[in-house]
Amino acid sequence: MNSSTVLKELFIKQFHSFENTLNGEKELPLHQIRKDAIKKFSALSFPSIKDEGWKYTNINPLLSKTFKPADSIPEIDPEFINKYLFDKKEFVTLVFVNGYFSKEFSESDSLPKGLILETISEAIKKHPELVLTYFSKSASSEKNIFTALNTAFANHGTFIFVEENAIIEKPIQILYVTKADDIFVSPRNLFLVNKNAQVKIIETYAGFGDRSYFTNQVTEFVINDYAVVEHVRIQDEQLNAFHISTLSVALEKSTNFSSYNINFGGSFVRNNVNAKFNGGFAECRLNGLYVTEGTQFIDNHTSIDHAKANCLSSELYKGILNDSSRGVFNGKVFVRQDAQKTNAYQQNKNILLSNDAIVNTKPQLEIFADDVKCSHGATVGQLDKDQLFYLKARGIQEKEAKAILIYAFASDVVHSISILQVRDRLESLLAEKLL
């Protein structure tokens, strides 16, 4: 048996032990979905570099590891948690440790009007029909083995339901912290935003400890007519962590979705971001940043499906790669035949700070409509020599001058975040990393 089948067998075995811990919950409809998912998982193969979408992404480092499901909440330094939290008075706060909801660190008792916020396992019990209408729909297990794996082990995660016309002023922060203890966690989120509603959600992934771990994560978003959503995802896992995620967004008529996908951590990271326009006159902005060093590998695969006319998508992903780290960007934009009056703009820009850093970038536009405005492009470069000389000629030392330019390049991505605390934090995190 090769390592790929070994790991698969192991996950399947672990699924059966996991099942046994579920007791009565095995009777709930969610469990049927899990069982279907593990079947899918066992039928699918782990991707190899011969597979479309994995050409530059070799998952062998992951396959050579073994992970056990997290089964308890470890001791954790509150300082560590607080480092990742924004002011609890101004945010609704959910904290999960090793996948388990932590009441101690969360602050979600008095919720704003119009907001339902529960752990996904609670939500399944309380409103099964609502959850099951959307659960595992936009992120399907059919083709993606990691989504299937996440769904099979789906037990912990966040359910958000924003009622029609509700404008949730307080941003919602969800923090997933994992102790690096050779475990795997499968956070699963379902966010339903109803007509005319507005909400801002921040997901943060972080870890502590010296060993390895594997976060395999899925977030599904359904955004109904005229709703406005801002989503910030901060990935700051330990440097020996594996992190695979899928963010799946269904945009209905006249919606407005902004995503900020910020990546600092992880040894092996693959993020899938998939957005689909199910209605016209909607806007989708995908912003991304990856800052890598050492031997980190970060892959962002995005796809935007212009299935309906009159929509706008605008995408900007930026990478700063140091040492012998590697980055991958793949951005697909489909403009279907009926999607006239589409505006689709896509940019991927990278700065390599070392001769050993590599980035593979592939923006892809597939256009089947004729009345559209589309552009795409990718750049890979070093710092601009003229800008660097200008700063130095003003007396700024070379190291500082470089840092100033790198910071300017990166901070551009987070400038338009409307949640001030989040923007400030990210800017100072960047400054800390880069200046």
Partner 1 sequence: MIEIKNLHANIDGREILKGINLTVNKGEVHAIMGPNGSGKSTLAQVIAGREDYEVTKGEILFNGKNLLELPAENRACEGIFLAFQYPVEIPGVSNTTLLKNALNSIRKYRGEDELDAMEFLSLVKKKMSLVELSEDLLRRSVNEGFSGGEKKRNEIFQMAVLQPKLAILDETDSGLDIDALRIVANGVTKLKSPENATIVVTHYQRLLNYIIPDFVHVLYDGKIIKSGDKSLALELENKGYDWVIEEAAELV
Question: What residue ranges bind partner 1 (CB under 8 A)?
Answer: 384-387, 389-398, 400-401, 404-405, 407-409, 411-412
Distances, alpha carbon 209 to alpha carbons 82, 183, 233, 429, in Å: 16, 12, 22, 20
Smallest distance, Å, CB 427 to partner 1?
11
Q: Which helix (H) or strand (E) holds 378?
A: strand 372-381
Give me the residues paired with residue 214 across strands. 184, 242
Q: Which is nearer to partner 1, 368 or 389 (CB)?
A: 389
Smallest distance, Å, CB 402 to partner 1?
11
Q: Tell me the C-alpha distance between 109 and 125, whole Å.
A: 19
Sheet holding 228-236, edge to edge: 100-101, 92-97, 172-179, 198-208, 228-236, 256-263, 283-292, 312-321, 342-352, 372-381
Spell out the residues 6+ positions from residue 141 whose beta carbon is closer than 8 angstroms to its own: 36, 37, 40, 41, 147, 148, 151
Smallest distance, Å, CB 397 to partner 1?
5
Q: Which is nearer to partner 1, 169 or 432 (CB)?
A: 432
DSSP-based three-state secondary structure for 78: helix
Q: Which is nearer to partner 1, 374 or 388 (CB)?
A: 388
CA atoms within 13 A on the CB side of 47: 18
Smallest distance, Å, CB 11 to partner 1?
45
Smallest distance, Å, CB 392 to partner 1?
4
Q: Tell me the C-alpha distance between 86 and 380, whole Å.
A: 34
Q: Which is nearer to partner 1, 89 or 385 (CB)?
A: 385
Provide the angle, in degrees to the nearest 10, between the axes of the packed helices 3-21 and 29-43. 170
Smallest distance, Å, CB 401 to partner 1?
7
Q: Which is nearer to partner 1, 104 or 400 (CB)?
A: 400
Smallest distance, Å, CB 317 to partner 1?
16
Q: Which is nearer to partner 1, 59 or 413 (CB)?
A: 413
Two tokens, residue 142: 């059919």
Smallest distance, Å, CB 394 to partner 1?
4
Q: Which is nearer to partner 1, 234 or 401 (CB)?
A: 401
Smallest distance, Å, CB 393 to partner 1?
5
Q: Is there a contact between 306 and 337 (Cβ–Cβ < 8 Å)?
A: no
Q: Which is nearer to partner 1, 134 or 345 (CB)?
A: 345
Q: Which is nearer to partner 1, 1 or 393 (CB)?
A: 393
Q: Which is nearer to partner 1, 63 or 391 (CB)?
A: 391
Smallest distance, Å, CB 414 to partner 1?
11
- DSSP letter assigned to residue 16: H
Q: Is there a contact between 323 and 356 (Cβ–Cβ < 8 Å)?
A: yes
Smallest distance, Å, CB 385 to partner 1?
8
Q: Which is nearer to partner 1, 281 or 407 (CB)?
A: 407
Residue 1 burial (C-beta neighbours within 10 Å; 0-12, 13-18, 19+): exposed
Q: What Rg do the C-alpha atoms of the chain give, in angstroms?
A: 21
Q: Tell me the C-alpha distance between 51 and 367, whole Å.
A: 23
CB atoms within 10 A of CB 375: 11
Give me the residues paired with residue 352 across strands. 321
Strand-strand pairing, 115-119 and 158-162: antiparallel
Q: Is there a contact between 98 and 72 (Cβ–Cβ < 8 Å)?
A: yes
Q: How far apart are the first and last CA of the chain?
A: 48
| Phi-psi region at 427: left, alpha or beta (left = phi > 0; alpha = psi -120 to 50) | alpha
